[in-house]
Amino acid sequence: MSESAPTRDGFGRELVALGKENQKIVVVSGDLEDATRAEYFKKEFPKRFFNLGIAEQDVLGTAAGLSLQGFIPFATSFAVFMTNRAYDQIRLDVCYNKCNVKIVCSHAGVTVGEDGASAQCLEDLAIMRVLPNIKVICPVDSIEAAKATRAVTQFHGPVYMRTSRAAFPVITKDTDPFEIGKAVVMRKGSDVTLIGCGLMVFESLQAAEILKKEGISARVINMHTIKPIDEETINKAAVETGAIVTAEEHQIYGGLGSAVAEVLVQNIPVPVEMVAVKDTFGETGSPRQLLEKYQLQSVDIVSAAKRALQRKPK
Amino acid sequence: MSPKCVDINTMKEKAALFRKEIIQVVHSAGSGHPGGSLSAVEIFVTLYECIMNYRSGDPKWEGRDRLIISKGHATPVAYVTLANYGFFPKEELKGFRKFGSPLQGHVHTKVPGIEFNTGSLGHGLSVANGIALGAKLLNKKFKVFCLLGDGEIQEGSIWEAAMTASQHKLDNVCAIVDYNKIQENGPTDEIKTLEPLLSKWNDFGWHVVEVNGHNFHELISAFDKFQSIKGKPSVIIAHTIKGKGVSFMEGNCKWHGKAPQGDDFKNAMAELESKIEE
């Protein structure tokens, strides 16, 4: 692993490529395009870019209206503002009307860093996935973010995707296939499965290396699509490894962990341990300091894996 | 593009008929919003009789003008209007608010002629703007109308949209405020006054026209004026009476969201019948 990049960069660049190919792509922004990287599109296609100012409800409603005219609007802002302030618009205008709006928001997770709690979105996966008609994606690195950005334009319907401010290690390749709803087994293993999304996949791979030295074989899965979740891969992992750890830069209630647990509890109940923010808001700090404080690192995934193994029936 | 208007007497007859049908459907459903439907009758008749460009047999005809009913609870007047103007058979009105019927309690695209599902107030103007922006990008000439409630414009999101329409010079947008002065729990002035309403819209960069919302001549004239305004959106502030047409409903917030039953229903129908006979 030699390079790192924020996933927002992958989104920003691919949006430009898409804009060149497809005149229907438009972007609606809540004045944060420099930070979300939607500004790359703005520079190339100023007539198809609309900064509606600090007005997230307006951004979403307007995007919905544009979609009725056959455009594919990307609505962008920070995750915490778009998903929270404009939740009613996402619910009703976008999801209930099944509008072809792609909501892509940066600054998800604690790795937002110094801005602190008000900017660190830790609840978006939970509140987005509970809405009907929407797909929810958390790309693992900038390469996957680019692929996901392209993939979401290839069907009609609402999408929510979270991207990062901080650089994530690049762990996929351009040639790796990407399909919405299809999780990727990044590392084979048989004793326990580590299911992560976003940065936590990298942390899970690190954890798997540590576990290997202790004679524990850990499977690592990149669950980039939270909804629709890949039940088959989850159930297969449960059957074949018997213990699951989930890891996410998100609250422990309602996110990836809950989504995975819902599948297991209804199919193959096995011990599940969840690595996530434990029902608290974030704070100012560097990304790494915060990951450490909120126990979102490989060492935490290792501990969780051992707890899960302990709970396997003898 | 308003076609040749118009026979005002025909419009008055339709208004009288629609009021009766509104009371009938809400009564049959046992629930619904009569007050804010009765106040908007002339607005709807004007739009569908002689202002909007549409094809009732082809409700998705590309060249049509669009109406976003942001006050989505005005289903009684919306559905009665659409049925009477040929968008769907009138006997389907019996299904209003009934399980299994497309006639959902708040406007729904399942009903031919409804452009967008609404029902949570404050959304429609942004959506109208989005359609209008799209139209300008595609160089399409249709107009976008947006019906707003007065209580509804207490929602801040409406003012976000108002700023956008002005900023982007959306002269293909015409908002109508059904200014009936009453919201669910009382007069708007006692809760969160909208006054001074005209100057607010004016200061937000809109072309403003104030009319008696029950006077066809004034409504027609206001809509005609909109067609000639360039470079800014228009708003018609239509002074109306909540519950208009039924004496005990007029100006009474109790009838915002209550279905008339028993004697109330009989008395309302009797009053409205007598108006038809006039």
pLDDT in tens, A218-253: 999 999 999 999 999 999 999 999 999 999 999 999
Query: How would DSSP label each residue in A80-129?
Result: HHHHHHTHHIIIIIIIITT---EEEEE-BSGGG-TT-GGG-B-SHHHHHH
Q: Evaluate if residue B1 carries a pLDDT over 60.
A: no
Q: Does A46 touch chain B (CB under 8 A)?
A: no
**pLDDT class of A314 with cuts at 50, 70, 90:** confident
Closest-CA residue of A relative to B161 is A58
Q: What are phi and psi of B87, to 5 degrees?
A: -75, -30
- Tell me the residue range of the domain where B185 lies: 8-277
**Domain range annotation of chain A:** 4-169, 184-310
Does a structural domain hold residue B145? yes
pLDDT, residue B4, reads 59
How many angstroms separate the CA atoms of A54 and B208, rounded? 25
pLDDT, residue B5, reads 63
pLDDT, residue B275, reads 84
**CATH topology (fold) of A4-169:** Rossmann fold (3.40.50)
Q: Does A48 touch chain B (CB under 8 A)?
A: yes
Does a structural domain hold residue B51? yes
Q: Does A89 touch chain B (CB under 8 A)?
A: yes
**∠ CA A27-A33-A34 to the nearest 5 degrees?**
145
Does a structural domain hold residue B2? no
Q: Which of A58, A60, A81, A93 to mutate to test the interface with B (most CBs of B within 10 A)?
A: A58
Q: Are B43 and B176 in contact (CB under 8 A)?
A: yes
* CATH class, range A184-310: alpha beta
For the record, the structure tokens of B238 come out as 């239509």
3-state secondary structure of A265: helix
Could you give the number of structural domains in chain B?
Answer: 1
How many angstroms separate the CA atoms of B249 and B27, rounded? 14
pLDDT, residue A1, reads 46
pLDDT, residue B60, reads 98
Average pLDDT over residues B16-32: 98
Question: Residue A113, by phi and psi: left (phi above 0), alpha (psi -120 to 50) or beta?
Answer: left
Taking CA atoms, A131 is separated from A257, B58, B72, in Å, by 17, 32, 21
Are B128 and A97 in contact (CB < 8 Å)? no
Q: What percent of chain A has pLDDT over 90?
A: 99
For the record, the structure tokens of A232 come out as 């088959």
Which are the contacts of A69, defined by CB distance < 8 A and separation ≥ 6? B130, B131, B134, B135, B137, B138, B140
Nearest residue to B46 (alpha-carbon basis) of B191, B180, B182, B215: B215
Average pLDDT over residues B222-248: 98
Does a structural domain hold residue B98? yes
**∠ CA B158-B227-B72 to the nearest 5 degrees?**
35
Positive or negative torsion for Cα A69, A74, A75, A80: positive
Average pLDDT over residues A41-53: 98
CB atoms within 10 A of CB B217: 13
Q: Evaluate if residue B226 carries a pLDDT over 80.
A: yes
pLDDT, residue B2, reads 47
Which positions in chain B touch A52 (Cβ < 8 Å)? Answer: 160, 164
pLDDT, residue B277, reads 73
Which positions in chain A touch B123 (Cβ < 8 Å)? Answer: 57, 61, 88-89, 92-93
CATH, residue B221: 3.40.50.970
CB atoms within 10 A of CB B231: 10
pLDDT tens per residue, range A246-292: 999 999 999 999 999 999 999 999 999 999 999 999 999 999 999 99
**pLDDT class of A2 with cuts at 50, 70, 90:** low
Average pLDDT over residues B27-50: 98
Does a structural domain hold residue B42? yes
Q: Which of B:113-132 have CB within 8 Å of A?
A: 115-120, 122-132
Average pLDDT over residues B14-32: 98
pTM: 0.97
3-state secondary structure of B138: coil
E strand segments, B116-245: 144-149, 173-179, 182-183, 186-187, 207-212, 234-239
pLDDT, residue B6, reads 76
Q: Does A92 touch chain B (CB under 8 A)?
A: yes
For the record, the structure tokens of A136 come out as 């929810």
How many angstroms separate the CA atoms of A222 and A177, rounded? 12
Nearest residue to A74 (alpha-carbon basis) of A62, A57, A86: A62
How many angstroms separate the CA atoms of B167 and A51, rounded? 11
How many angstroms separate the CA atoms of B64 and B85, rounded? 15
